[in-house]
Chains A and B, each alone.
Chain A
Amino acid sequence: RKEVEQDPGPFNVPEGATVAFNCTYSNSASQSFFWYRQDCRKEPKLLMSVYSSGNEDGRFTAQLNRASQYISLLIRDSKLSDSATYLCVVFTGNQFYFGTGTSLTVIP
């Protein structure tokens, strides 16, 4: 079983839509969780860390469910510029594990 599993998509949504991505992880001792955004042929950029209590940054909301071992990312009011691949990343204390990424395309 993979350390981190993520639906690769693609997700094609109209501008203004709300879209949610989920990611599951296998190691119950995982310590830290992150969402990264990667544009085509570019390096990943940290979008937000994910905290146990859930956290919000503008249109982006991240949540962590330790009991079920999944994290989620919600994007409200999608913009064209949100089109990218979203990577779920889990840190076990020794190593970072990446999901395969979820591709999002926001359509005008």
Chain B
Amino acid sequence: GAVVSQHPSWVICKSGTSVKIECRSLDFQATTMFWYRQFPKQSLMLMATSNEGSKATYEQGVEKDKFLINHASLTLSTLTVTSAHPEDSSFYICSAKRSNQPQHFGDGTRLSIL
């Protein structure tokens, strides 16, 4: 079945550091990738949608200069949290889909900013 890998799974770093998270579709070419954020006991909040070779479409309220998304190939998208602060601490999850298939999620990245 469709496999999406996300790396790293857990990051702890100092305030002001930039953190890059990778999302890879391992056995299929993803036409679209999504980045979500989830706070404890809440549902997923869509941050942005990215199509390969295009600029990401950000949801309202998500700062594009803060959360840099690069979708360089059909199997890789990256999210960079620039100059991360404690309020950026969260669970970040990517998902990938191809054409009319359901999306499949990566295993998430737990980001803790000290």
Contact = CB atoms under 8 A, between A and B. Distances in A.
Contact of B105 (A41, A43, A49, A91): A43
Interface stretch (B12-20, B41-49, B62-70, B72-80): B41-49
A87 interface: yes
Dominant SS at the A interface?
Answer: strand
B60 interface: no
B100 A32 contact: yes
How large, as a class, is the contact surface on chain B?
10 to 19
Interface in A85-108: 87, 89, 91, 95-96, 98-101
B28 interface: no
A91 B32 CA distance: 13
A98 B108 contact: no
A46 interface: yes
B34 A96 contact: yes
B42 A49 contact: no
Contacts of B106: 43
Contact of A43 (B34, B42, B93, B100): B93
Contact of A42 (B43, B103, B104, B107): B107
Interface of B: 6, 34, 42-44, 46, 49, 91, 93, 100, 102-108, 110
* 3 tightest A-B CB contacts, nearest first: A43-B105, A100-B43, A43-B108
26 contacts: A32-B100, A34-B102, A41-B91, A41-B110, A42-B107, A42-B108, A43-B93, A43-B105, A43-B108, A44-B44, A44-B105, A45-B105, A46-B102, A49-B102, A87-B43, A87-B44, A95-B46, A95-B49, A96-B34, A96-B103, A98-B43, A98-B44, A98-B46, A100-B42, A100-B43, A101-B43
